[in-house]
Amino acid sequence: MKLIIARHGRTIQNETGIVQGHLPGNLSPLGIEQAKKLALRLKNEEIDAIYSSDLARAYDTAKEIAKFHSKAPFFSVEELREHDLGSYTGKSYGSFSWDDRPKEIESKKSMRKRSMALLKKVYSNYSGGTVLFVAHGGINKELIRGILDESDDFFLDRIENTAISVFDINEKENKILLMNCIKHLES
């Protein structure tokens, strides 16, 4: 299966420094433009199914892409939500310490477990096809670590808004075909 993983477009909250977690988030004018550019980049892909986080910022990005793939089933799922940031949700960066996280903040292990469970289910339905996941920076990192069977310590660059990563998923070995690419934003 070919798996395309994309991050949502830039949000108003990204621009104002608000930590979103499970907040829906609103695409900014720039984020809407990024989503449209991503949709154009993926326009000619043969996408068999689209899975989006149910949070508005990812859902709205995925809807732009879906305009070019009207025959592909579209699923809005909780498994692709960004990690639950508990009491940090809605706060501005710099108003708290990432080093002293409260216990209610979702762990990387939990994020990886739920995203990989979804991937396993999707693979069983689309093993010979192409599937698009549209989600968030944190959950995408954990999904990528799971695909590559890497630990929490495996370094991944910041995932930019509307960046795509592409993988060949199979029973023997998962392969990276493209990682964190934003060339569609250059035009």
Q: Do residues 81 and 136 lie in contact, with contact meaning Cβ atoms separated by under 8 Å?
A: yes
d(CA 136, CA 53): 8
Nearest of 152, 123, 148, 131 to residue 62 by alpha carbon: 131
* pLDDT band of 153, cuts 50, 70, 90: confident
Beta strand ranges found along 54-123 (DSSP E): 74-77
Statement: residue 151 has pLDDT above 90: no
Q: Tell me what pLDDT residue 102 has.
A: 87
Average pLDDT over every residue of 66-74: 98
Average pLDDT over every residue of 71-87: 96
DSSP 38-68: HHHHHTTS--SEEEEESSHHHHHHHHHHHTT
Examine residue 86 and state whether it is found in any structural domain, yes or no.
no
Bridging pattern class, strands 164-168 and 2-7: antiparallel
User: 99: which 2 tokens?
Assistant: 């080093």
- Please write down the long-range contacts of 69-72, taking CB distance under 8 Å and 24 or more positions apart: 69/42, 69/45, 72/47, 72/48, 72/132
Q: Tell me what pLDDT residue 155 has.
A: 81
Statement: residue 99 has pLDDT above 90: no
Interval 100-132: pLDDT, tens: 888 899 999 999 999 999 999 999 999 999 999
Range of the domain at 143: 2-10+27-79+107-185
Statement: residue 157 has pLDDT above 90: no
Interval 10-66: pLDDT, tens: 999 999 999 999 999 999 999 999 999 999 999 999 999 999 999 999 999 999 999
Q: Tally the domains of the chain.
A: 1
Give the H or E element holding residue 109.
helix 108-126
Examine residue 99 and state whether it is found in any structural domain, yes or no.
no
Average per-residue pLDDT for the chain: 95
Question: CATH code at 57?
Answer: 3.40.50.1240
- Residue % of the chain over a pLDDT of 90: 88
Place of tokens 């370094």: 155
Q: Tell me what pLDDT residue 39 has.
A: 98
Examine residue 150 and state whether it is found in any structural domain, yes or no.
yes
- Please write down the long-range contacts of 179-185, taking CB distance under 8 Å and 24 or more positions apart: 180/156, 183/41, 184/37, 184/38, 184/40, 184/41, 185/34, 185/37
Statement: residue 187 has pLDDT above 80: no
- Residue % of the chain over a pLDDT of 70: 100
Place of tokens 């004018």: 29
